[in-house]
Amino acid sequence: MSDNQNNNPKGIIIGMLCLIWGLGSIAAMLFCSKLENHTGILLVLLGQFFLVIGLIAVICNRKAKPYPFIVLVFPLVGIALLVCGIYILTKGEIALSMLDQYAPYILIWIFPLAGIMMIAGTLGKIRYLKQVCTQEVQAKCVDIESASAAGTHRRKHVTMPVYSISYNGEEKLLRKGMYTNLNHFEIGAYYNIRINPTNPDEYLDENNRKGNNLILILGVVLLVVTLPAIVYMYINGI
């Protein structure tokens, strides 16, 4: 990334505004949680938070092929929370009683819908890459980029190989793959990958294959775990 991009005043201002908005939203939710009759305003604040995050994700992925439909979950959840919060603020006790009655159904349906979007989006991505990535090439691993996901005392590292290939007589670096911890790559080793002949930034390697398979499995797990619970709730009138 160039120095001009790093020092872009517009990007810095937008980043600072997003940070202030995010911290302000969290602070407002924490404050409202201590108030009486806070359910409505808390849902509104939570809804706008999910909605804005979701819209940012939708905009950032607008040119992705195929489109990752899973990002639509966030704005949809945000809209649902906003509607519920506004309804509670305007209807009071009637809305709260309806929320108590229907909230379990609304919440439990989020998980299978997310699973369906994960499966549909991943299958679409796999199909697209198989269709366009028709040229097999030998790619040299010249670097390994890593990221860490902090959730426990130990950090879980995921990696993505950076490949070098010969394309139209010139060396080209490929670094738009998927981060996973499912493969072991070595710098200097050669790997067979499939690229899109017209756009080599779209390619299919072992990280993509195994990462997409993992997302498919997680989507199926969400469906298998939650659908029986939904059927049980409807049968027993819970």
Cα angle 66, 226, 235; round to 5: 130
Ramachandran angles phi, psi of 10, nearest 5°: -60, -45
Task: Say if CB 203 and CB 194 are below 8 A apart.
Answer: yes
pLDDT at res. 95: 61
pLDDT confidence tier of residue 138, bands split at 50, 70 and 90? very high
Residue 159 has pLDDT above 50, yes or no: yes
The confidence score (pLDDT) of residue 155 equals: 46
**Are residues 175 and 162 in contact, defined by beta-carbon separation less than 8 angstroms?**
yes
- What is the largest distance, in Å, between two alpha-carbon atoms of the chain? 71
Strand partners, 49: none
User: Which pLDDT score, from 0 to 100, does residue 17 have?
Assistant: 83
Q: What is the pLDDT of residue 134?
A: 92
Instruction: Return the residue matching tokens 């060396």.
Output: 171
Share the mean pLDDT of the chain: 79
The overall pTM is greater than 0.75: no
Q: What is the DSSP letter of 68?
A: -
Per-residue model confidence (pLDDT) at position 192? 92
Report the pLDDT averaged over residues 137-165: 75
Cα-flanking dihedrals φ and ψ of residue 153, to 5°?
-65, -35
Q: Is the confidence at residue 234, as pLDDT, over 90?
A: no
- Model confidence over 165-221: pLDDT tens digits? 988 888 999 988 788 888 888 999 999 999 999 999 889 998 888 888 888 898 898
**pLDDT tens figures, 4-37:** 444 467 767 877 888 888 888 888 888 877 777 7
- Model confidence at 156: pLDDT above 90: no
Instruction: Give the Cα separation of 222 and 120 in Å (integer).
Output: 13
Which residues in 18-31 are b (16+ Cβ under 10 Å) and which e? eeeeeeebeebbee
User: In this predicted model, which residue has the larger pLDDT, 113 or 1?
Assistant: 113
Predicted confidence band at 104 (pLDDT cuts at 50, 70, 90)? low
Answer for the pair 44, 82: CB distance below 8 angstroms, yes or no.
Answer: yes
